[in-house]
Chains A and B, each alone.
Chain A
Amino acid sequence: MENSSTGSLATTGLAPEAGPAQLTSQLRVALIGNPNTGKSTLFNALTGMRQRVGNYSGVTVERVEGRYRRSNGTAVSVLDLPGTYSLSATSPDEEIALTVLLGLAPDLPAPDVVVLVVDASNLERNLFVVSQILELGLPVVIALNQVDTAAAAGIRVDSVELAMQLQVQVVETVATKGQGIDVLKRAIERASALPLPERSFELPAPLFRAVQPVEAVLVQAGFHPSTAAMEALRLLAIAPEGHLAGIPGLEGEAERARTALEEAGYNARAVEAEVRYGWIAEVVEATVHRFGSAGSSRTDRIDAVLLHRVFGPLIFLLLMAIVFQSIFTWAEPLMTAVEGLVGGVGNLAGSALPEGDLRSLVVDGVIAGVGSVVIFLPQIVILFLFIGFLEATGYMARAAFIMDRFMRGVGLHGRSFIPMLSGYACAVPGIMATRTIENPKDRLATIMVVPLMSCSARIPVYTLLIGTFIPPIAVAGIFNLQGLTLLAMYFLGTAAALVVAGIFKKTLLKGPSQPMIMELPPYRLPNLRSLLLTVSHRAGLFLRRAGTIIFALTIVLWALATYPKTEVVADVTDGAAQEQQLAGSILGRAGQAVEPIVRPLGYDWKIGVSIISSFAAREVFVATMGTIYGVGSDADETSVALREQLLAETDAAGTPVYTPLIAVSLMVFYVFAMMCVSTNAVVVRETGGGWKGVKWAAFQFLWMFVLAYSAAFVVYRGGLLLGFAA
């Protein structure tokens, strides 16, 4: 039996790698399947490689590779392809998956074996992409995963019958428990020795006649006949883009085929789905058996409440309120402990080093700056514990479902929700997750608003200001004002994202939006280990960032806040001397230069300068304030926490400089402002790169800044008018 890795596209010249994989050489396996089938989990089980397990895309968009050893010692490399429902569209994810399978990806030969991960509890929907991949002329093994979930939902899939129907090996697995992995490995070994799968249904005569010439063009261009047949069906609905671009005569033949079909009374765009689902229905009929429905009805009963038109959103809000409240109540003791630790380290370093610039650099610059950010670790951990828990139980998918109603209200594609949800962690993966959106206008509109979702870099800013200036007053008995304020900030960002996206969709990026098929996984108990893994991963990233970029920035900020040295008039107190010194430094002068710009918002120059430095990244605001107050305070009080210093700060007349109103206005500013170089860079890249990308990124930066400034202005001035203390 000829090995297929050379088979699909031998003559295009695009696939330089040739020659069947020898038994001694490395075997290349590609994993593919619908999102949420357990592909990542299976990948981890196969390769033992640690990787984040989560419900949302953005993870598998990346090229993830791992390997394992066979019993004979040779390596098997495993490539985790992006999760995809079909290969019929032209989203970047699907294009990546298809190019890799066809061996057209640069520097990646076609896989020797494709492992199709299929969710046993959702066979019908999963079989669509299966039916397409079976036609690619590659050895295929089906991993029938989540048989436990299926059984709990009262579904049994007859895997022997499925293997007969599809003419490939089918292995039942439970990826989370590692069941079936060894069998799967053996099936992978055998796969290339078995006959290649092929299309197992016939096209209706008019369709067959219509696609013949298209197939001929593709075969001419070097495609394997079976692949050509699959691509020809695809081409009825899409334009020849990506790897199909530039094949002479292709679009002409495809257009003729479409016309011929329309004349024969078919809907050319829908005909592929029709024939494939026709075949799928037969396969499902023969292989899926339903017994009882105990499991699914429990999920249904829970959903009846959680997805209720009125109670659903209310419960969602309530849950979020509890989450945000716990960030303050639970994190407070931990935070105080970390604060004490940072203060202790500061004092230690202070007494170990001789008085002078070096000590000031270490204590006032680095420890005060980095320390002021690091103390927010407990909040980050608690927030992601909650989010990870809700995600793992299946509730986050419901939240997406609830939100979808509002999203459609503003004309946004339902698929935009997942990038927006990722945006709560960080806008960078959120923006990369927009690759799953096919329509370029929908994709741009989503990219434009993802940074409005409150990312975790804002948490230090919010919690510093809330913890310091918002009193923990009880509201309606069970809530407290701090948690509610934080909830309000998240809500504000989300609402603004929806409204702005709606405006874009009606003006600049006008176009129809398509509905999304959303899947609601059954509720399940979260896996503690993977939950902790996710949380520690995020905590690690937060700390790594504090230890690298923020660390370096605080050193530079310290230098800017220290030099040039001013001659201080002899007879002032220590504190006043430090204050003069700071005001004379480069940072101080820059601050005074920008003060007129931020004055209308009620901010002083210290806030102004912190805002400017936080253009690098939002949490640098906190680090800058920490450094400024570290440098500006006299040497004896190094260990005083930033929060207390902010409260104690008074102007010449003795009135407090920072008030709750200013804190709120500042938070509102951070809700809207686009202050993150990493995000800017990703936006440039994902909106086309080069000048085009730079223009979109600049546009986004500008409108967000204008929005932020105006909103902060309105809050501050409005607050003054309403009689809140300046």
Chain B
Amino acid sequence: MFESLTVVAIVLGALGYLGVRVSRTVRAARTAKEGGCGESCGCSDT
């Protein structure tokens, strides 16, 4: 029981994190503002 809850929590956490990243990327693309590649879109190299 406890284990299942932990697993569900972790998976939901990961989904939430990815959701935040995606929405940030989308927002950066929409506002067409100046922006770096570092944190905002997560490319592997600058």
Q: Nearest Cβ distance between residue B33 and chain A, in whole angstroms?
A: 8
Bound together, the chains give a CA A556 to CA B7 distance in angstroms of: 11
Residue of A nearest to B17 (CB): A552
Contacts of A617 in B (CB 8 A): 44
Contacts of B21 in A (CB 8 A): 548-549, 552
Contacts of B3 in A (CB 8 A): 356-358
Contacts of A693 in B (CB 8 A): 29, 32
Bound together, the chains give a CA A58 to CA B36 distance in angstroms of: 10
Given A541-B46, A553-B18, the answer on whether A559 and B11 have CB atoms closer than 8 Å is: yes
Q: Is the CB of B7 within 8 A of A361?
A: yes
Q: Is the CB of A426 within 8 A of B29?
A: no
Q: Is the CB of B11 within 8 A of A555?
A: yes
Q: Is the CB of B29 within 8 A of A619?
A: no
Bound together, the chains give a CA A538 to CA B25 distance in angstroms of: 21
Q: Nearest Cβ distance between residue B9 and chain A, in whole angstroms?
A: 11
Q: Is the CB of A689 within 8 A of B45?
A: no
Bound together, the chains give a CA A52 to CA B46 distance in angstroms of: 9
Bound together, the chains give a CA A676 to CA B41 distance in angstroms of: 10
Q: Nearest Cβ distance between residue B26 and chain A, in whole angstroms?
A: 7
Bound together, the chains give a CA A521 to CA B42 distance in angstroms of: 32
Q: Is the CB of A428 within 8 A of B37?
A: yes
A456 at the interface (CB under 8 A from B): yes
Contacts of B29 in A (CB 8 A): 680-682, 684-685, 689, 693
Residue of B nearest to A688 (CB): B32
Q: Nearest Cβ distance between residue A206 and chain B, in whole angstroms?
A: 41
Q: Nearest Cβ distance between residue A495 and chain B, in whole angstroms?
A: 22
Contacts of A556 in B (CB 8 A): 11, 14-15, 18
- Per-residue 0/1 for A646-685: is the Cβ within 8 Å of any B Cβ (1 yes, 0 no)? 0000000000000000000000000000001111111011
- Per-residue 0/1 for B6-45: is the Cβ within 8 Å of any A Cβ (1 yes, 0 no)? 1100110111011001100110111110111110011111
B37 in complex: contacting residue of A538, A542, A682, A690, CB < 8 Å:
A682
Q: Is the CB of A681 within 8 A of B6?
A: no
A120 at the interface (CB under 8 A from B): no
Q: Nearest Cβ distance between residue B46 and chain A, in whole angstroms?
A: 5
Residue of A52, A429, A678, A681 with most partner-chain B CB within 10 A: A681
Contacts of B45 in A (CB 8 A): 425-426, 429, 455-456, 538, 541-542
A62 at the interface (CB under 8 A from B): yes
Bound together, the chains give a CA A58 to CA B38 distance in angstroms of: 12
Bound together, the chains give a CA A382 to CA B20 distance in angstroms of: 33
Q: Is the CB of A429 within 8 A of B14?
A: no
A301 at the interface (CB under 8 A from B): no
Residue of B nearest to A54 (CB): B46
Q: Nearest Cβ distance between residue B21 and chain A, in whole angstroms?
A: 6
A457 at the interface (CB under 8 A from B): yes
Contacts of B31 in A (CB 8 A): 689
Residue of A nearest to B27 (CB): A681
Residue of A62, A427, A537, A551 with most partner-chain B CB within 10 A: A62
Given A357-B4, A426-B44, A456-B44, the answer on whether A678 and B37 have CB atoms closer than 8 Å is: yes
Q: Is the CB of A685 within 8 A of B28?
A: yes
Residue of B nearest to A424 (CB): B45
- Per-residue 0/1 for A409-451: is the Cβ within 8 Å of any B Cβ (1 yes, 0 no)? 0000000000000000111110010000000000000000000
B46 in complex: contacting residue of A426, A555, A685, CB < 8 Å:
A426
Q: Is the CB of A548 within 8 A of B34?
A: no
A529 at the interface (CB under 8 A from B): no
Given A361-B7, A457-B44, the answer on whether A677 and B22 have CB atoms closer than 8 Å is: yes
Q: Is the CB of A677 within 8 A of B25?
A: yes
A186 at the interface (CB under 8 A from B): no
Residue of B25, B30, B42 with most partner-chain A CB within 10 A: B42
A62 in complex: contacting residue of B26, B36, B43, CB < 8 Å:
B36
Residue of B nearest to A616 (CB): B18
Given A428-B41, A542-B44, the answer on whether A358 and B7 have CB atoms closer than 8 Å is: yes
Q: Is the CB of B32 within 8 A of A358?
A: no
Known: A428-B37, A685-B32. 6 other contacts (CB 8 A): A541-B38, A549-B21, A552-B14, A552-B18, A678-B42, A682-B37
Spell out B's residues near A (CB within 8 Å): 3-4, 6-7, 10-11, 13-15, 17-18, 21-22, 25-26, 28-32, 34-38, 41-46
Q: Can you list 11 residue pairs at the A/B interface with Cβ under 8 Å? A: A426-B45, A428-B41, A455-B44, A456-B45, A548-B42, A553-B14, A553-B18, A678-B25, A679-B43, A682-B41, A690-B30
